[in-house]
Amino acid sequence: MTRKGRRLAMIAAALCVVGAGAALALYALGDNIVFFYSPSELVAKNVAPGARLRIGGLVEPGSVNKTGDDKMDFSITDGGKDIKVSYQGQTPDLFREGQGVVAEGVLESSGQFHAETILAKHDERYMPREVVDSLKKQGRWQEGQK
């Protein structure tokens, strides 16, 4: 093979691998993006039920209601709107009323949010950034300052 031929083979191989990588990325990106909404945005944007998403805000004080061994209902609020969430499973160490929380799951047609995973903050200083932002939008700056 000539020098030119070898170089062409290299470039072809490079294009194949990079092309395959890009194709995989585009394909994977189609189904695997999860959008984040605050309760107010969820109402304002009329998000269709069935989509996988994350919602975040504060666990509304007084809303946590144990419905079974490891089942519970609670509401997430950003000060403007709030949304009912149902969840089955163990909650993180710092899941408490009045604390920041992010839930990932599916919006049901009833308007209730079915959470599959719950993320709470890891220590008393840390609040999920998305939650801080959405609280600020509702004019509540205080919680985010901690």
Partner 1 sequence: MIVEGGHFAMILALALAIVQSVVPFWGARRNDLALMGVGVSAAVGQFAFVALAFAALAAAHMTSDFSVLNVAENSHSAMPMIYKFSGVWGNHEGSMLLWSLILATFGALVAVTGRALPARLRADALSVQGLIGAAFLAFILATSNPFERLVPSPFEGRDLNPILQDLGLAIHPPLLYLGYVGFSIVFSFAAAALIEGRIDAAWARFVRPFALIAWCFLTLGIAMGSYWAYYTLGWGGFWFWDPVENASLMPWLAGTAFLHSVAVMEKRDALKVWTIFLAILAFSFSLLGTFLVRSGVLTSVHAFASDPRRGVFILGILAFFIAGSLALFAWRAPMLKQGGLFAPISREGALVLNNLLLTTACASVFFGTLYPLALEQVTGAKITVGAPFFNMTCGVLLLTLTFLTPFGFSLAWKRGDLLGVAQRLAFALLAGLIVVVMLIAFVHGGPVLAPIAAGLAIFIMLGTLSEVFSRVRRGGAKLSALFSRARGLPLSFWGGAVAHFGVGVLLLGLAATGFGQEVIATLHVGSPLHVGPYEVALDSVNTRGGPNYQETVAHITVRENGALVTTIEPARRQFAARQMATTQAGIATLNLGQLYISIADPTPDGSIPARMYWKPLVTLIWLGAICMALGGAVSLTDRRLRFGAPSRARAGAAAMVAS
List contacts with partner 1 (CB under 8 A): 1, 3, 6, 9-10, 13-14, 17-18, 20-21, 24-25, 27-29, 31-37, 54, 69-70, 89-91, 93-94, 104, 122-130
Query: What are the phi and psi torsion angles at 87 (to 5°)?
Result: -150, 140
Q: Report the residue number, 16 or 108, with the smaller CB distance to partner 1.
A: 16
Q: Report the residue number, 28 or 110, with the smaller CB distance to partner 1.
A: 28
Rounded to the nearest whole angstrom, what is the least distance from the CB of residue 88 to partner 1 in the complex? 8
For CA atoms 136, 138, 141, 143, give the dihedral sign. negative
Burial class (CB in 10 A: 0-12, 13-18, 19+), 137: middle
Q: Are 59 and 76 in contact (CB under 8 A)?
A: yes
Rounded to the nearest whole angstrom, what is the least distance from the CB of residue 39 to partner 1 in the complex? 14
Q: Report the residue number, 85 or 120, with the smaller CB distance to partner 1.
A: 120
End-to-end CA distance of the chain: 66
